[in-house]
Structure 1
Amino acid sequence: MKVALYARVSTSDQTVENQKLRLIEYAKSQGFEYDFYEETETTRKTRPVKQKLLAKLRQGMYTSCIVYKLDRWARSSTELILDCTELVSKGIGFISLSDNLDFSTAAGQLQFQILAAFAQFERSLISERTKEGLRRAKSQGRPPGRPKGSKDGKKRKKSGYILREANKRKQKDEAIGVNKSIESYLD
């Protein structure tokens, strides 16, 4: 049985060594063959190692994904629920050592359903608060949305954005075997 071990820290000042030791120790104690994935200096939206691992999990390269703690895998309950729902529905195990959760067991699936219910409840509360805030702003004659800030009056640069988006489209095409020059993506 081959599993994926995933560890993440948010800054280069931190180290994954404690997570790594516990994950490898667990994998060896269970007799698992494993690959270790390590991610540092991530932002909310960019976690390339995790995306690479998810792609391999989707391809069936691993039977399970093991993390030290749930917050090392996902930054929000919504992200956790979406990722785990996909993995569990494909028969891929998800284990969190510190949280003592194994979503491949009956008890783990029950715990997962409870977590999912709380995440849905949280999303509903956020939606209700947002709608109430919009109603209050409308009744007070204010326009909806965030207040205008100092950067809203200035024209923003687009050159970097356009090139980044072109590179993203080019990489997606290259992944499916389509090779075109970067210039063709700049229109």
Structure 2
Amino acid sequence: MKCIIYSRVSTTDQTTENQILQLREYAEKQGRTVIDVKTDICSGSKSADERSGLREVFDLARRRRFDVLLFWSLDRLSREGTRKTLEYLSRLDSYKVKWHSYSEEYISSLGIFADAIIALMSCLARQERLRISDRTKAGLQRAVSQGKTLGRPKLNPAIEPQAIKLREQGYSYSRIARELNISKTHAYKLCR
């Protein structure tokens, strides 16, 4: 099986060498061929699009250039939360690429418990979504109780004739937006 090692550290003061060394040794013991090593030096809370190494991993996975992704631990892959991490693992699955956490051997799609692990992580992701929703609702309730108005601000109805007049004078939608302190899209809608 061909594999890629993915390694990440948060700062330039840290090194990926220890992770890579242990992952190479593990791959060798398992009879796997390491075809590439991808690394990132950035926060694990950044998305895959913001991390060149992880972005390359997904590009190679999509093209089926390797069979297994090895990473030292799940938090080296992502710290974006359970839901996003599960999304990444599911994405690898959709590309028919297996994955394995070296330091958390139970987090692996290589063994017989792969489906159970994915189901458990799905439940955790759902719980995380519910907690985020509850915290958001609580925050909104607190803001309302403190007298804050939620939603988009109401625009003065007199703004529409002003926008139309400016348009008739040859103003661009961008300039109308600046003049009336509204978005360009809103300026366009008002003038139509």
Is the TM value for this pair above 0.5? Answer: yes
Distance 1:28 1:121, change over 3 A: same
Match of 1:39 in 2: 40
Match of 1:25 in 2: 25
CA distance in structure 1 between the aligned counterparts of 2:11 and 2:145, rounded to whole angstroms: 44
Among candidates 118, 125, 128, match of residue 119 of structure 1? 125
Equivalent pair of 1:88/1:104 in contact (CA under 8 Å): no
CA distance in structure 2 between the aligned counterparts of 1:130 and 1:65, rounded to whole angstroms: 35
Alpha-carbon offset, residue 26 of structure 1: 0.6
Among candidates 125, 130, 138, match of residue 136 of structure 2? 130
Give unmatched runs, 5+ long, in structure 1.
146-187
1:104 equivalent to 2:105? Answer no
Q: Alpha carbon RMSD of aligned pairs, Å? A: 1.8
Structure showing greater radius of gyration is 2
Match of 1:68 in 2: 72
Equivalent pair of 2:38/2:56 in contact (CA under 8 Å): no
Secondary structure in structure 2 of the residue aligned to 1:120 = helix
Match of 2:172 in 1: none
Match of 2:85 in 1: 80
1:50 equivalent to 2:54? Answer yes
Match of 2:8 in 1: 8
Please give the per-residue CA displacement for 1:102-123, whole angstroms capped at 9, x wherever unaligned. Answer: 2233312201210121111011
Normalised by the size of structure 1, how large is the TM-score?
A: 0.71
CA distance in structure 2 between the aligned counterparts of 1:42 and 1:114, rounded to whole angstroms: 25
CA distance in structure 1 between the aligned counterparts of 2:141 and 2:71, rounded to whole angstroms: 42
Secondary structure in structure 1 of the residue aligned to 2:113 = helix
Q: Which amino acid aligns with 1:58?
A: R
Please give the per-residue CA displacement for 1:61-112, whole angstroms capped at 9, x wherever unaligned. Answer: 0111010100000112222110101112332101001011222333122012
Equivalent pair of 1:92/1:104 in contact (CA under 8 Å): no
Normalised by the size of structure 2, how large is the TM-score?
A: 0.70
Secondary structure in structure 2 of the residue aligned to 1:136 = helix
Q: Which amino acid aligns with 2:70?
A: I
Superposed counterparts of 1:166-181, under 5 Å: none
CA distance in structure 1 between the aligned counterparts of 2:42 and 2:116, rounded to whole angstroms: 33
